[in-house]
Structure 1
Amino acid sequence: MKEIISTDEAAGAVGAYSQGATNGELLFTAGQIALTPDGELLDDEDIEIQTEQVFDNLTAIIEEAGGTLDDVLKMTVFLADIDDFDRMNEVYGSYFDDEPPARSAVQAGGLPAGVDVEIEAIVSLE
């Protein structure tokens, strides 16, 4: 059975999608961008600040579903410019200890609202 996850602690959905959806075992988050819960778009900030906001959003959604970042199985990172990978990765790595999740990172042709990074997660809630 599908359950929609929604929290005011993360950027609200701005289209026909949910912040997250779960079947009680797995949580799938929507791609999160550098948009604050108050609706402020951080597209003019550097990749590090944008990545931190993305993780703030992801953390809030995951916690609303009953999980933590330690429960993340897989993340997909979309970058507007793959040359930002090292700087994004430094921030990304600070959120995980010895057992980071699986990850893919790709350069996308264009990201929503002109941001530099978007990240989605698959999380185990068991």
Structure 2
Amino acid sequence: MSDSIKNSDKAPEPVGLYPHARKVGNLLFLSGVGPRKKGTKEIPGVTLDADGNITDYDIEAQCHSVFENVRLVLEASGSSWDKLVDVTVFLTNIKVDFKKYNAIYAEYFKDNQPCRTTVEINSLPTPIAIELKCIATID
């Protein structure tokens, strides 16, 4: 079963005991992917105060970063962007961020249009405004 676990050496490390992805049959299930940068706690577009609370954030920067991180996990796992079949998007402020996120999403997914669900949640485990949960096909 361990050969079904997939990790990327280019994507940010998981924040808990879980893999970046797991292959089951010809499907690849990605764990939640956020916009953090590998090897650091830096989150593009996020400003924190001394106590680690968000004082400002840029949803556009986070969107670009999270989409790049998803791509890195897909490629390290033997899949690719065009093989995404389902995307669940978690936003912490859908009323403010949805329009910008939706426009950026359309740029990245104009050629491949997986099924999508977007939901608002109260918070995420790290100070981020977006996280993606994806399913792709894999050979």
Shift of 1:24: 4.4
Equivalent residues in 2 for 1:1-126, closer than 5 Å: 1=1, 3-39=4-40, 40-42=42-44, 43-44=46-47, 45-83=57-95, 84-126=97-139
TM-score (norm 1): 0.92
Compare CA radii of gyration and give the structure with the larger one.
2
Q: Does structure 1 conserve the Cα–Cα contact (< 8 Å) formed by 2:7 and 2:19?
A: yes
Q: Does structure 1 conserve the Cα–Cα contact (< 8 Å) formed by 2:14 and 2:20?
A: yes
Cα distance between partner residues in 2 of 1:49 and 1:18: 25
Give the alignment's Cα RMSD to 1 decimal. 1.5
Gaps of at least 5 residues in structure 1 are none
Pairs aligned (count):
126
TM-score (norm 2): 0.84
Gaps of at least 5 residues in structure 2 are 48-56
**Comparing 108-117 and 55-64, the one that deviates more:** 108-117
Cα distance between partner residues in 2 of 1:100 and 1:56: 17
Cα distance between partner residues in 2 of 1:33 and 1:112: 10
